[in-house]
Structure 1
Amino acid sequence: MKKDFPVYDICTLSEFKQDDILISRFAPYLDTHKNLYLPHKHNFYHLVLFTEGSGSHAIDFHTFKVNPFQIYFMIPGQVHSWAFKGSVDGYVINFSVSFFQSLLLKPDYLDQFPFFSGLAEQGVIEVPAELHDYFTNLFEQIIAENETPQRMAIDMVKALMLQVFITTGRLCLDNQPQHVTPYNYTLLRNFQKLIEQNFTHLKLPKNYAELLYITPNHLNALCNDVMGMPAGEMIRNRIALEAKRLLVNMSLTIAEIADKLNFADNSYFTKFFKKQAGLTPEEFRKKALNNI
């Protein structure tokens, strides 16, 4: 029997449905949707702040240890699963891609935050002790607005969520190397966005350097300086990640996945994937689906 990772939308989680957003304390949310322990995808943004609990959380095939006052940000399309130890609690907010569009004039406003880059390691944030009460208060206000709505409640929820994003964004920027200028940081984020938009057909650093109006050497130096890897590796990592996401979809053959990612043939795709993941596509698929 073929098994695919399920893809959930906010409407699927109907017990908590409210237009383009779902807000809940985490324990009852997870108790109602026990299937969310298994690997799955969302077509919405997913935000979780843990206040108690332990275990692990796998995002896009990277595993993270769960700790209290750890905040997770996920974008649509990422694969994740939980493996908790004992009871857990906190807050969860799911919101659609269009949720903020009626409030913000910049449609790509959320893209400026590193935790919404789609890189699993950038989406897991440890909240420092001095901000525990601040974050708890913000989420309690969001819960209150959702449970006892007043006039313009949804706008208040959006304003409170932006406080969460901006405060967390400042934490991320504080952890950036001091020598990284705002210009270079913006340049790197633009490179990451271009990869996301073009990785299936633009596979060389020089292609992206042209779009950014800089030289390939400048782009490589920037990526090595900030990310610790060359530009080409960032592109290859994104292609490999998409390959992994497609490989857990049993309705696609290996050849079809190679074609979707614009590889010349199946053998070239297999060599590329094995070099990036350490397994052939067939081996990775078997191992991943055995965990469903």
Structure 2
Amino acid sequence: MNKHIPILDSCTLTDSNQNKILIDHFAAYLKKNSNMVFPHRHSFYHIVVFTQGSGYHTIDFEKFDVTPGQIYFMAPGQIHTWHFSDDVDGYVINFDKGYYESFLLLTDSIDNFSFYNGIAQDGVIQLHSELLQQVTTLSESLYQQVNHTQPVYWDLTKTILLHLLMLVEQSHSKTTTGELSSSYALIKKFQRLIETDFASSRLPSEYASQLNVTPNHLNIVCKEHLGHSAGEEIRNRIVLEAKRLLVVNTLSITEIAYSLAFNDNSYFSKFFKKHTGMTPEEFRKKRAW
């Protein structure tokens, strides 16, 4: 298998990267990038709105069937590939963190959106008809501003993008959680901490301390909202990163173990097999996209 999965930058996908955003009709985008069906990851944030077509999209080893009205959000670093029908269409938006934050001047504000937490399932949302209409209208407005309006008012493009993101977040939060409870907010903070600290912090007590709650309370909230313990949530993130590293490049198993703070290659292999049913070598050899 191909063990090296490229990281695509914004400049890979657009003629000019000075403004750090690309938006296109999805059918046209696929035609221009017809060779990109191989597994790859991005250094930028990625949005796809599906208005028609079918097929499937694989994100971080999770397979999602495509239906009209879906919107996909992908954070930098996630691995994906796809197989779409010939009539698939919609919109694609790629932008980097600097483009977004240069407008809001809020560090890491984009990572506060629930769909950009790095969890594949949270980034795939089915929009109801009214919201889909609003999202497609905003997407077309952004497309026209970026590609056909001269001069381009870049602050306006950022405003449109922010409107789209906040509109989906507002609607999705109400649909999935009603009023955002303190326990739900705690889970999201916990997951954001895991995203940055999973390689160095393995114990729920370390995260509980940062969140100003007891380990027991954190565990109860995780079981309530996620169906498993706080420790399992941490381990799941370690396993995901191990899978990414195993298919992304030619690092040895020992190098991957050390990069994930395992002091012993044998312990890493046992840990990985316990959670996946395969050894790292078997996963690397058998992984099929």
Per the alignment, residue 211 of structure 1 pairs with: 210
Per the alignment, residue 270 of structure 1 pairs with: 269
User: Is contact 1:54–1:84 with CA below 8 Å preserved after alignment?
Assistant: yes
Instruction: State whether structure 2 residue 200 is matched by structure 1 residue 201.
Output: yes
Per the alignment, residue 140 of structure 1 pairs with: 140
Greater CA drift, 222-231 or 8-17: 8-17
Per the alignment, residue 115 of structure 1 pairs with: 115
The Cα offsets for residues 192-239 of structure 1, whole Å up to 9 and x where unpaired, read as: 111011100111101111111110011111111122221111101100
- The separation in 2 between residues aligned to 1:86 and 1:14, in whole angstroms, is 23
Secondary structure at the aligned position of 2:54 is classed as: strand
Greater CA drift, 269-278 or 49-58: 269-278
Secondary structure at the aligned position of 2:101 is classed as: coil
The Cα offsets for residues 104-158 of structure 1, whole Å up to 9 and x where unpaired, read as: 1321211221100000000001010222221211111011101223456211111
Pick closer, same or farther for the CA change 1:180–1:96 going to 2, 3 Å.
Answer: closer
Pick closer, same or farther for the CA change 1:220–1:180 going to 2, 3 Å.
Answer: farther
TM-score norm. by structure 1 comes to 0.94
Greater CA drift, 221-230 or 233-242: 221-230
User: Is contact 1:16–1:22 with CA below 8 Å preserved after alignment?
Assistant: no
Per the alignment, residue 253 of structure 1 pairs with: 252
Q: Give, as a single letter, the amino acid of the residue that structure 1 aligns with 2:8.
A: Y
Identity percentage of aligned residues? 48
Secondary structure at the aligned position of 1:223 is classed as: helix
Greater CA drift, 87-96 or 185-194: 185-194
Q: Give, as a single letter, the amino acid of the residue that structure 1 aligns with 2:263.
A: A
TM-score norm. by structure 2 comes to 0.95
Pick closer, same or farther for the CA change 1:15–1:29 going to 2, 3 Å.
Answer: farther
Instruction: State whether structure 2 residue 163 is matched by structure 1 residue 163.
Output: yes
- The separation in 1 between residues aligned to 2:40 and 2:275, in whole angstroms, is 23
- The separation in 2 between residues aligned to 1:204 and 1:267, in whole angstroms, is 21
Per the alignment, residue 99 of structure 2 pairs with: 99
Instruction: State whether structure 2 residue 289 is matched by structure 1 residue 281.
Output: no
Q: Give, as a single letter, the amino acid of the residue that structure 2 aligns with 1:248.
A: V
Give the CA deviation at 1:247: 0.2
Calculate the aligned-residue CA RMSD, in Å.
1.7
Give the CA deviation at 1:179: 7.4
When the two structures are aligned, how many residues end up with a matched partner? Answer: 289
Q: Give, as a single letter, the amino acid of the residue that structure 2 aligns with 1:109.
A: S
Aligned 1:171-182 pairs, distance under 5 A: 171-178=171-178, 181=181
Secondary structure at the aligned position of 2:205 is classed as: helix
Secondary structure at the aligned position of 1:106 is classed as: coil
Q: Give, as a single letter, the amino acid of the residue that structure 2 aligns with 1:166.
A: M
The Cα offsets for residues 45-96 of structure 1, whole Å up to 9 and x where unpaired, read as: 0011011110000000000000111000000000000111232111001001
- The separation in 2 between residues aligned to 1:65 and 1:255, in whole angstroms, is 35
Per the alignment, residue 82 of structure 1 pairs with: 82
Greater CA drift, 144-153 or 95-104: 144-153
Greater CA drift, 18-27 or 77-86: 18-27
Give the CA deviation at 1:167: 1.2
Q: Give, as a single letter, the amino acid of the residue that structure 2 aligns with 1:133.
A: Q
Per the alignment, residue 221 of structure 2 pairs with: 222
- The separation in 2 between residues aligned to 1:180 and 1:72, in whole angstroms, is 22
Per the alignment, residue 238 of structure 1 pairs with: 237
Task: Give structure 1 stretches of 5+ with no counterpart.
Answer: none
User: Is contact 1:9–1:42 with CA below 8 Å preserved after alignment?
Assistant: yes
Secondary structure at the aligned position of 1:37 is classed as: coil
